[in-house]
Structure 1
Amino acid sequence: MEHSNEDTLANEAALRFCGSADYRLEVCGGGTNNTTRHLAYAGQAYMLRLYNTHEEWEKAAFEHQLLIALRRLMPGLPFGIPQPEMGAAGVGLIRLENGKLAAMFRYLDGAAPDFGLPAQAEAFGRAAGQLSGALEQVEQQEAGLDLPAYPPYYALAAAHPSCPLYEVLRFCWEPSDEFAGCMEALDVLGRQLEKVIPVLDKLALLPHQLIHGDLNASNALVTPSGEIAALLDFEFVTRDLKAMEPSVCLWGLLPEAGADEQAEARAWVSLEAFWRGFIEVRPLSAAECRVIPELMQLRSLDVFLHFLGRYRDGVDDASMLLRQIPDTAARLGQVEKHGERLLVLLEGQ
């Protein structure tokens, strides 16, 4: 039976971590940034991760350092977080023969959430707020914590080494034939990028702390009762605006572009429930609340730059970027469409 390259790499990593071939790997659902496998060994369940976005040791090492500190300093968190496991490798992070990084984490139980259910959305808000508070305390208490390798969202010029902003704008205004069908969406992205660049310095003056930076339904698990069982994937943790954490979450909860009136109303109920849960445990200042719509726009632009960078680096072929361009442009439009209603909600905390 022919194995894919991902299977070969996963088996190389599993053998290193387990120390023998007496293990079982199973394909599981994962995000677009990494390859993940269920790993069963010696009566224990683990998650194996192969890092696809980068091969930079310091980025993954910071994630592991933070997770260990978070577990040690914040043992009372009401949800699980990933914990690196060393196994036979003796270290929690290894480099494979082809240069890729791999890690093994203890398996966390739970089901995929449905944030269309207001109760789950509110639980997600509370958990996001609790994590925000915990990350702030870890930053204050862990004197030896390294500096995060990822830049804050507002540092767009440093968002991806393969995406200097002048080249991104040129890509938006003068796309190659391969992306000519996305001209309208690219125009939206280019105009928003030009609009946001002058306000980045103003955003940088707001309160900062460590943030997860990528909290969404794909990075959460729920219990049978709908509470948050675990928050996952701390790969992109960085020091950023405190208000950026809920902004990323709200961005993911916006009504879909083109949704009918009933679907839009349901999305707003969940969005409001999330915000209620978040501010219950993590209030923000009026100044922070006012910029959240701008930060949601920034999230769209950062996602676009992330996938443009993956395409330029050869990590993805054009098909992934062709999907992301209209999606991020549509989300920009949704933030603009719902901007006034968002501000009423946010400033009414």
Structure 2
Amino acid sequence: MEAVLRRNWPEWNGTLQRRTGGWNNTTYFVKSGGRSGVLRVYDTHRDRDKIEFEHAVLQALSKQSLSFRVPMPIRTITGETLAQVDKDSGKYVCLFEYIEGISPLEQDPSFAHSFGEAAGELSAVLATLNLDMTPVYRPYYALQQSYPLCSPEVIQGFCLKTRRSLSRIYMKSCA
């Protein structure tokens, strides 16, 4: 990844620290001079159009008045928001400026309220965006076509399990 970083973002030449976790992507923290960044390797898909659409949404969101910061892709030396790792793997990578924050602890339910507020704010703003691109993802309301393994019973079970887990966490915190 160091070679990919030097080739596409030479001004970010610094130390890379691979982060654990994540199911869809590999993440590295980048330290360069006094700056910090996040290098994201797309592992689960190699669809350039999807990544470019995601980046267009992030760029449009950055122009809105939001109560939180939105990740912004940093352009490569060729002016793109992503780069290909190599021809063989077909994987793409992008670089974002690091946004300071705190990861919520599972046993601390206080984050749920602020998460709900931010999700509502984001949903309201997303509903107003008009991009000059055709969406590349199927709409989530077409769940059966997008995710045929997610039957109504599976979704209901997931929601009920999540609700019970959140209730237990909340009750422990109130005890």
Q: With the length of structure 2 as denominator, give the TM-score of the two structures.
A: 0.79
Unaligned runs of 5+ in 1: 1-9, 160-164, 169-191, 197-246, 257-262, 271-349
- Opposite residue 147 of structure 1, the aligned amino acid is T
2:164 to 246, 252, 255: 255
Deviation at 1:43, TM superposition (A): 2.8
Secondary structure of 1:69's counterpart equals: helix
Task: State how far apart, in whole Å, the 2-side matches of 1:106 and 1:264 are.
Answer: 35
Q: Cα RMSD between the aligned structures?
A: 2.9
- Opposite residue 78 of structure 1, the aligned amino acid is S
Task: State how far apart, in whole Å, the 2-side matches of 1:254 and 1:122 are.
Answer: 14
Determine if contact 2:6/2:12 at 8 Å carries over to the other structure.
yes
Determine if contact 1:14/1:39 at 8 Å carries over to the other structure.
no
Determine if contact 1:25/1:39 at 8 Å carries over to the other structure.
yes
- When residues 125 and 253 of structure 1 are mapped into structure 2, their CA distance, relative to the original with a 3 A threshold, is farther
2:126 to 118, 131, 135: 135
Structure number with greater Rg is 1
Which residue is equivalent to 1:90? 79
Secondary structure of 1:14's counterpart equals: helix
Task: State how far apart, in whole Å, the 2-side matches of 1:152 and 1:115 are.
Answer: 30
Deviation at 1:65, TM superposition (A): 0.5
- When residues 91 and 31 of structure 1 are mapped into structure 2, their CA distance, relative to the original with a 3 A threshold, is same
2:145 to 150, 153, 157: 157
Determine if contact 1:67/1:82 at 8 Å carries over to the other structure.
yes
- Opposite residue 124 of structure 2, the aligned amino acid is G
Determine if contact 2:84/2:91 at 8 Å carries over to the other structure.
yes
- When residues 255 and 92 of structure 1 are mapped into structure 2, their CA distance, relative to the original with a 3 A threshold, is same
Per-residue displacement from partner, 1:164-217 (whole Å, max 9, x unpaired)?
Answer: x5xx6xxxxxxxxxxxxxxxxxxxxxxx73x66xxxxxxxxxxxxxxxxxxxxx
Which residue is equivalent to 1:221? none
Deviation at 1:46, TM superposition (A): 0.7
91-100 or 147-156: bigger deviation:
147-156
2:58 to 67, 74, 77: 67
1:102 aligns with 2:93: yes
Determine if contact 1:253/1:267 at 8 Å carries over to the other structure.
no
- When residues 49 and 143 of structure 1 are mapped into structure 2, their CA distance, relative to the original with a 3 A threshold, is closer
Greater fraction of residues in helix: 1
Secondary structure of 1:78's counterpart equals: coil
Task: State how far apart, in whole Å, the 1-side matches of 2:27 and 2:61 are.
Answer: 23
Task: State how far apart, in whole Å, the 1-side matches of 2:143 and 2:59 are.
Answer: 27
1:80 to 69, 78, 85: 69
Task: State how far apart, in whole Å, the 1-side matches of 2:131 and 2:25 are.
Answer: 30
Unaligned runs of 5+ in 2: none
Deviation at 1:37, TM superposition (A): 0.1
Secondary structure of 2:95's counterpart equals: strand
Task: State how far apart, in whole Å, the 2-side matches of 1:264 and 1:155 are.
Answer: 27
- When residues 143 and 103 of structure 1 are mapped into structure 2, their CA distance, relative to the original with a 3 A threshold, is closer
Matches within 5 A, 1:258-277: 264-267=167-170
Task: State how far apart, in whole Å, the 1-side matches of 2:67 and 2:79 are.
Answer: 29
Matches within 5 A, 1:217-228: none
- When residues 52 and 64 of structure 1 are mapped into structure 2, their CA distance, relative to the original with a 3 A threshold, is same
Task: State how far apart, in whole Å, the 2-side matches of 1:255 and 1:83 are.
Answer: 35
Identity %: 29
Which residue is equivalent to 2:29? 38
- Opposite residue 163 of structure 2, the aligned amino acid is L
Task: State how far apart, in whole Å, the 2-side matches of 1:252 and 1:65 are.
Answer: 34
Determine if contact 1:38/1:45 at 8 Å carries over to the other structure.
yes
